[in-house]
């Protein structure tokens, strides 16, 4: 139920009570006494629900009514104080736990059929015999191929408690094969890629802050240090956050002793400061942090700490602006609330949270950034010049919500030719990658070296094959001069998508994309 419906429900409940108090019920007049509806003691809400239960004309689902009342009440607070029913609570905790119960595969759905991209080493699927490239036809008795089954529904069908069994039927080279798989604990990685861009510069892409983030990041940075890294491009674009303690530990790796990382404070929470202990192993590493409009929460804590301590250069676009501290409060029925109890502030005193008094504007904030040009023009960033703060070295930084980058990189809208847009609408590139894998699987699936992969893909003349594929399968043909205009952007994309089918997986994807990533290019230009 959404917030609007919840509010309507409470208004309706008030109307019911007023009607009960003023009307005849079952042939008797209600007394004219007044009930104690003291707002300060929350008695009115309980009173209303009790009166509905005692007097409403039909049977009441008290669980549904209570949940609706809670949702409506919390909607009057802030956008991030929420009620989570048991199923939602379990999913939210699983997402950040660093592991989940399942069968251990990654898959894509380019053509209304789930294709196994990779099988997690040591996981249940590998033990059962599933292989990269298998097409999943059925989960138990449910046909999911060619039925327009949503991808999240496919995931839900395959997930389940450890120890339970699921039957997965796949099509492998034209033969249907059933596998009975016993679900188990599956690790969820949050470091998508970690590799050397050149002799001295490393690149790490972090997708979320889970329980395993610090451990994964430490392993990745150790590997890059052993390969000669003296500078790091740390990519947290699209990272919506997660556990605060993991962000704190990552900040600690880069900052000197007693440098402030963040502080939190609320009406019922006294100020609490978090400082570095000076034991981090990356204090002498050059740092560029990449952010965008989807970088939120823990990502903003990290970016804000680096910026205010003048520890690294922040590159990209203004971050989301989510700086509220949620405290979990769980109930015995498996449900819970996430209640905002404080705000996060960067070392200079900036509140990370953007304004939310206008709920509609808050919900459509990213759209508004597009509308008034912030995504493509640094001068369009709505800076609150009345909220000026200063970094450790005295540089001015601004409040008002989110982290404003030191170097702005606009969203590139110039490469969207008609041909490119048509291909995107039909997912032609993804389906082409699957087609190439089917044709060259024996060689492609064995490659583990990026240089070898790049050379092999060049030898396949993917440009000619893609144009032929787009024409044959989707009747898409570039107009005069369109392919020349699109090729520079689309070829790295095609190599990235095909490269994911190699042993390099996501590393290949991000390596190829670096060639067309203007934000990474801006980072590499920094000293």
Q: 334-358 as b/e, with b when 16 or more CB fall inside 10 Å?
A: ebbbbbbbbbbbbbbebbbbbebee
Classify residue 138 by its DSSP letter: E
In this structure, the answer to whether residues 280 and 237 fall within a common structural domain is yes
Residue 149 Cα distances to 109, 116, 139, 146, 434, angstroms? 10, 16, 12, 8, 19
In this structure, the answer to whether residues 305 and 169 fall within a common structural domain is no
In this structure, are residues 84 and 339 in contact, taking their beta carbons and an 8 Å threshold?
A: no
In this structure, the answer to whether residues 221 and 290 fall within a common structural domain is yes
Q: pLDDT digits over 171-186, tens only? A: 888 888 888 888 888 7
In this structure, the answer to whether residues 384 and 422 fall within a common structural domain is no
Q: Considering the domain boundaries, does residue 111 fall inside one? A: yes
Domain housing 477: 418-524
294: CATH: 3.90.226.10
How would you classify residue 402: left for phi > 0, otherwise alpha for psi between -120 and 50, otherwise beta? left
- The residue from 408, 438, 468 where one domain ends is 408
Please choose, from the candidates 175, 133, 179, the residue with its C-alpha nearest in 3D space to the C-alpha of residue 442. 133
Q: Tens-of-pLDDT digits for all 527 residues of the chain?
A: 444 444 434 443 443 333 333 333 333 344 455 555 465 667 788 888 888 888 999 998 888 888 888 888 888 898 889 888 876 656 665 555 556 678 888 787 877 788 887 787 667 887 788 888 888 999 998 898 888 888 778 888 888 888 898 999 988 888 888 888 888 887 778 999 999 999 999 999 999 998 899 999 999 999 999 999 999 999 999 999 989 999 999 999 999 999 999 999 999 999 999 999 999 999 999 999 999 999 999 999 999 999 999 999 999 999 999 999 988 888 888 888 889 999 999 999 999 999 888 776 777 888 888 888 889 888 888 777 788 999 999 999 998 889 999 999 998 877 788 999 999 888 899 889 988 988 998 899 899 999 999 999 999 999 999 999 999 999 999 999 999 999 999 999 999 999 988 989 889 999 999 989 999 999 999 87
Q: Considering the domain boundaries, does residue 88 fall inside one? A: no
Please choose, from the candidates 492, 488, 487, the residue with its C-alpha nearest in 3D space to the C-alpha of residue 514. 492
List CB contacts of 352: < 8 A, sequence separation 6 or more: 300, 301, 304, 321, 322, 323, 343, 344, 345, 346, 401, 402, 403
Helix axes 428-444, 462-474, angle to 10 degrees: 130
CB atoms near residue 137 (< 10 Å): 18
How would you classify residue 2: left for phi > 0, otherwise alpha for psi between -120 and 50, otherwise beta? beta
- The residue from 408, 440, 466 where one domain ends is 408
Q: Considering the domain boundaries, does residue 84 fall inside one? A: no
In this structure, the answer to whether residues 450 and 498 fall within a common structural domain is yes
Q: Considering the domain boundaries, does residue 34 fall inside one? A: yes
d(C-alpha 200, C-alpha 283), whole Å: 16
Q: pLDDT digits over 380-405, tens only? A: 887 777 889 999 999 999 988 899 99
In this structure, the answer to whether residues 214 and 300 fall within a common structural domain is yes
């Amino acid at each position: 139920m959404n917030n609007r419906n919840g509010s309507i429900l409470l208004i309706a409940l008030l109307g019911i009570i007023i009607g009960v108090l003023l009307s005849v019920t079952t042939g008797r007049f209600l007394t004219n006494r007044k009930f104690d509806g003291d707002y300060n003691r929350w008695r009115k809400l309980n009173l209303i629900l009790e009166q509905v239960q005692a007097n409403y004309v039909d049977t009441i689902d008290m669980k549904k009514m209570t949940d609706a009342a809670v949702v409506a009440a919390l909607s009057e607070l802030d956008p991030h104080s929420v009620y989570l029913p048991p199923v939602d609570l379990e999913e939210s905790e699983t997402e950040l736990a660093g592991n989940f119960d399942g069968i251990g595969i990654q898959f894509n759905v380019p053509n209304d059929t789930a294709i196994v991209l990779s099988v997690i080493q040591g996981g249940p699927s590998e033990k059962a015999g599933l292989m990269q490239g298998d097409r999943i036809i059925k989960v138990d008795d449910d046909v999911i191929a060619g039925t327009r089954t949503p991808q999240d529904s496919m995931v839900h069908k395959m997930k389940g408690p450890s120890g339970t069994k699921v039957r997965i039927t796949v099509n492998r080279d034209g033969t249907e094969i059933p596998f009975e798989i016993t679900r188990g604990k599956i690790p969820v990685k949050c470091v998508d890629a970690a590799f050397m861009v050149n002799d001295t510069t490393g690149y790490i892409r972090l997708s979320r802050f889970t329980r395993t983030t610090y451990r994964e990041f430490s392993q990745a940075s150790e590997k890059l240090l052993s390969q000669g890294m003296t500078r790091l491009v740390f990519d947290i674009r699209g990272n919506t956050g997660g556990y605060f303690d993991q962000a704190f530990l990552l900040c600690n790796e880069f900052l000197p002793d007693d440098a402030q990382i963040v502080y939190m404070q609320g009406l019922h929470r006294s100020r609490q400061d978090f400082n570095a202990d000076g034991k981090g192993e990356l204090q002498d590493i050059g740092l560029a942090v990449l952010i965008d409009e989807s970088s939120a929460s823990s990502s903003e804590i990290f970016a804000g700490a680096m910026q205010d301590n003048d520890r690294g250069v922040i590159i990209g676009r203004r971050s989301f602006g989510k700086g509220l501290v949620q405290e979990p409060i769980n109930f015995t029925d498996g449900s819970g609330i996430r209640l905002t109890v404080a705000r996060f502030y960067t070392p200079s005193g900036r509140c990370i949270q953007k304004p939310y008094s206008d709920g509609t504007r808050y919900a459509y904030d990213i759209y508004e950034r597009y509308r008034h040009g912030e995504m493509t023009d640094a001068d369009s960033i709505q800076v609150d010049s009345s909220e000026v703060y200063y970094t450790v070295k005295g540089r001015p930084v601004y409040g008002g919500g989110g982290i404003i980058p030191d170097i702005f990189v606009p969203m590139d809208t110039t490469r969207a030719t008609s041909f490119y847009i048509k291909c995107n609408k039909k997912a032609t590139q993804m389906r082409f990658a699957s087609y190439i894998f089917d044709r060259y699987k024996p060689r492609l699936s064995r490659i583990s070296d990026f240089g070898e992969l790049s050379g092999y893909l060049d030898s396949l003349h993917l440009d000619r094959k893609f144009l032929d594929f787009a024409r044959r399968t989707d009747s898409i043909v570039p107009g005069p001069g369109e392919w020349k205009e699109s090729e520079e952007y689309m070829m790295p994309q095609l190599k990235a998508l095909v490269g994911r089918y190699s042993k390099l997986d996501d590393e290949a994807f991000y390596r190829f994309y670096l060639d067309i990533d203007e934000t990474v290019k801006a980072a590499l230009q920094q000293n």
